[in-house]
């Protein structure tokens, strides 16, 4: 598994809602804001994530590879990016029950996000 470390400055966009997801990120330092753009044009902040937390997994693990939310750095932030192919290899090596649980959680989360848009 090859991970890439990316650095983001304050308010820098990490990715935008609707973009194709090629990687998931683990925050090594700093924090990010997760938000969605609603039909009204308003920005709805869903979460602030900090060191050790993961983001971008929905687009990697679901059949729809589009980003369901936008991410921006709240402060100087370092992110370890793990590629889709590496995550899929890890998931394929896991137990069938664990895979079913993860994929079920991904589908449930996507349905919940769609209700907020």
Note the pTM of the prediction, 2 decimals. Answer: 0.83
Range 1-30 average pLDDT: 94
**Going edge to edge, which strands form the sheet with 13-15?**
13-15, 70-73, 31-37, 43-50
* pLDDT recorded at residue 71: 98
Range 23-43 average pLDDT: 93
- For residues 35 and 69, the answer to whether their CB atoms sit within 8 Å is yes
C-alpha to C-alpha distance for 11 and 73, rounded to whole angstroms: 5
Domains of the chain plus CATH, in order, are 3-116 (2.60.120.10)
Helix residue ranges, H only, 39-95? 57-61, 84-93
Query: Residue 63, exposed/middle/buried by CB under 10 A (0-12, 13-18, 19+)?
Result: exposed
């Amino acid at each position: 598994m090859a991970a890439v470390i990316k650095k983001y400055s304050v308010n820098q966009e990490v990715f935008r809602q609707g973009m194709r997801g090629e990687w998931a990120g683990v925050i090594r330092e700093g924090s990010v804001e997760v938000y969605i753009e609603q039909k009204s044009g308003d920005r709805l902040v869903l979460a602030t994530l900090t060191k050790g937390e993961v983001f971008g997994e929905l687009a990697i693990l679901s059949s729809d590879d589009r980003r369901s939310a936008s991410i921006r750095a709240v402060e100087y932030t370092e992110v370890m990016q793990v590629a889709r192919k590496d995550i899929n290899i890890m998931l394929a090596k896991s137990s069938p029950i664990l895979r079913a649980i993860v994929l079920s959680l991904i589908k449930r989360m996507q349905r919940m996000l769609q209700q907020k848009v």
